[in-house]
Structure 1
Amino acid sequence: MTFLVGENGSGKSTLVEAIAVAAGFNAEGGSRSFRFSTRASESTLGGALRVGRAPGRELSSFFLRAESFYNVATEIEALDLVDAYGGVSPHERSHGQSFLDLLNHRFRPGGLYLLDEPEAALSVTGCMAALARIHELARQGSQFIVATHSPILLAVPRARILEIGDDGRLHTVSYDDALPVVTMRAFLADPGHRVRDLLRP
């Protein structure tokens, strides 16, 4: 379990996307067999990375890119793969439900899963359900690389958290020192005060 955290624009999503492209995934998401393209917007970093994987290491794999999952859902329908995603088209479910369907039905033990901000569609309880499923799959031999802003997802036991600092470098941090956790705790400790500071002219 490896989590990438950092402010918007720090490069965590770009890094996950680049790893996915270097590992042979479609830049917009999906499995390695997905080859559709809606609009090429990926960085060139993926072409400069080399990803080493042992042959036969993965029994399953998927790249979830929250911002383009609608396009992936359309491709799932076009390829008639709905049964592998719980039997209901992702377009027929809420955004959050379709993400959880993906985790519960498409993700399997022994897989490689690259997730870019999966919390984008999830409620607080949805994030907790995702945490439990990710932890279960990790215990069953799956590897995850996740870019996130969610303090809940970061709480997966034994996860490695890498924070991209202002200098652009990766630093290993503890859960308690991770930026999303520190920021959320500070806000929840005194929301009224924080809001007054934000709204002060």
Structure 2
Amino acid sequence: MYLKRVSLQKEKLPNHDSYPFSIPVIKTMDQLDVTSNVTFFVGENGSGKSTLLEAIADKCGFNTAGGGRNNYFDVNEAQSVLGDYITLSWMPKVTNGFFLRAETFHHFATHIDSIDGASQAYGGKSLHHQSHGESFLSLFRYRFHQRAIYLLDEPEAALSPQRQLAFLRILYDLSAYGNSQFIIATHSPILLGYPEAIIFSFDDDSIREVAYEDTDHYQITRHFLDNRKRFLHEIFKEE
């Protein structure tokens, strides 16, 4: 494990009424201790999990539009304001890694196509010439290596349930022996089931560690599958 702690420099924060400093979890955060090679951020949309992940990527020197330290391309609104106000504690520090933003992956794939021969590093085929799910798995299989930190924002966005299971195997191969570290923002109850991962919830205006079975993702999915007809009846009934 490499990244040990994320600290917020509260004394340097500007107006707390401006975004992203107005997000409740940012207002209450002091530091976040990272104690596992695989850490998940969960929470409702707008809870701040992707904002913090992007700030970590910025502090790592990764392209906040998606990519590693040597991927230079621009996407509107890809700058992380919060990155200027956090401190990362390492032991030891690594510079290798990657930041995946599912929403801007198309731009990353275009960037790779613009570099002569770069697609050879992704299985010898342009990422644009693969399905969305195939291109994500090609990234994970061919671009991700040992001794690195990987920050992934909703990697399940392009993955079928079967391919999410395939990704879990890749995650295991890279992290199980302590050579790679992952911090993943996700809504997937499949990915959250990774054994011995630490899950941080960003709901309820604070960041707190939760058990897998206590996440809304697990509970709602399980209750829906066990009671599908009743759930649908409640959702569709007339007011």
Same fold (TM over 0.5): yes
Q: What displacement does 1:56 show?
A: 5.8
1:10 equivalent to 2:80? Answer no
1:165 equivalent to 2:203? Answer yes
Q: Deviations over 1:73-103 (max 9, x none)?
A: 0111112311111111110001110000111
Q: Distance in 2 between matches of 1:57 and 1:31?
A: 12
1:75 equivalent to 2:111? Answer yes
Q: Distance in 2 between matches of 1:146 and 1:55?
A: 20
Q: Distance in 1 between matches of 2:211 and 2:200?
A: 9
For 2:186, give the aligned amino acid.
T
Asked if the contact 1:135–1:157 (Cα under 8 Å) also holds between the matched residues in 2, the reply is no
Larger radius of gyration, structure 1 or 2? Answer: 2
Q: What displacement does 1:134 show?
A: 0.6
Asked if the contact 2:64–2:80 (Cα under 8 Å) also holds between the matched residues in 1, the reply is no
Gaps of 5+ in 2: 1-37
Asked if the contact 2:201–2:209 (Cα under 8 Å) also holds between the matched residues in 1, the reply is yes
Aligned residues: 199
Partner of 2:100: 64
1:143 equivalent to 2:181? Answer yes
Partner of 1:182: 219
For 2:127, give the aligned amino acid.
P
More helix by share: 1
Partner of 1:33: 70
Q: What displacement does 1:68 show?
A: 0.2
Q: What displacement does 1:41 show?
A: 4.0
Q: Distance in 1 between matches of 2:222 and 2:93?
A: 42
> Please, what is the CA RMSD of the aligned residues?
1.4
Partner of 1:193: 230
SS in 2 for 1:3: strand
SS in 2 for 1:9: coil
Residue 161 to residue 15, structure 1, CA distance change in 2 (3 Å): same
1:102 equivalent to 2:139? Answer yes
For 1:143, give the aligned amino acid.
Q
Q: Distance in 2 between matches of 1:136 and 1:123?
A: 20
Deviates more, 1:169-178 or 1:142-151: 169-178
Partner of 2:127: 90
Gaps of 5+ in 1: none
1:24 equivalent to 2:61? Answer yes
Q: Deviations over 1:134-182 (max 9, x none)?
A: 1111014100000000111111111000011222x11111111122111
